[in-house]
Structure 1
């Protein structure tokens, strides 16, 4: 797909000029921050393995460690 064709929907929507990669790089952290499973995000983005997804986007999951600790506490109590 040519970049001109890819930009047409963005122009119609009135958004600033944005590369497709920018949209991907925005969608992933939004999905993860809303609780989407990282495996789903990996598949959506087409990453070869989940480590690529988590290495790239884990910074948007600052409470990930807190959630793991709470889950362990709940399991052991």
Structure 2
């Protein structure tokens, strides 16, 4: 029975018995899977960037993204994914403008 032989290393990707998978083997299997699915050629690392970019674009707190990616500090995360920030800056300015317009200006009469 495999349960007696299973190595509990708490890995995200592992072999049937719980052991680590060599990165080259995982990369090779990923490439084959991408080809079999007929999707555009992407690197495994591209999924990491896509994940972070989607989170950033959907206003997830950068500190959470930093922790998910394992960056030492949030500055690394913000510098790496700053390409998402220009549209977020415009949206923030628009939100502030709307908040300012909708505030009570009854004392201005």
**TM-score normalized with structure 2 length:** 0.52
Superposed counterparts of 1:63-74, under 5 Å? 63-64=88-89, 67=92, 70=96
**TM-score normalized with structure 1 length:** 0.68
Structure 1 pair 39–20 and aligned structure 2 pair: CA distance change class (3 A)? same
- Root mean square deviation, CA, Å: 2.6
- Tell me how many residue pairs correspond in the alignment: 73
Q: 2:42 aligns to what?
A: 18
Q: Map Cα deviations across residues 43-64 of structure 1 (whole Å, 9 max, x no partner).
A: 2212111100001112212233
User: 1:5: how far off?
Assistant: 2.1
Unaligned runs of 5+ in 2: 1-22, 105-109
The reply on whether 1:35 has 2:59 as its aligned counterpart is: yes
Structure number with greater CO (CA < 8 Å, separation at least 6) is 1
Larger radius of gyration: 2
Q: Secondary structure at the match of 1:32?
A: helix
Q: Equivalents in 1 of 2:28, 2:34: separation in Å?
A: 10
User: 1:12: how far off?
Assistant: 4.2
Of the structure 1 ranges 49-58 and 8-17, higher mean CA displacement relative to structure 2 is found in: 8-17
Q: Map Cα deviations across residues 17-70 of structure 1 (whole Å, 9 max, x no partner).
A: 211111112221121111111112112212111100001112212233752782
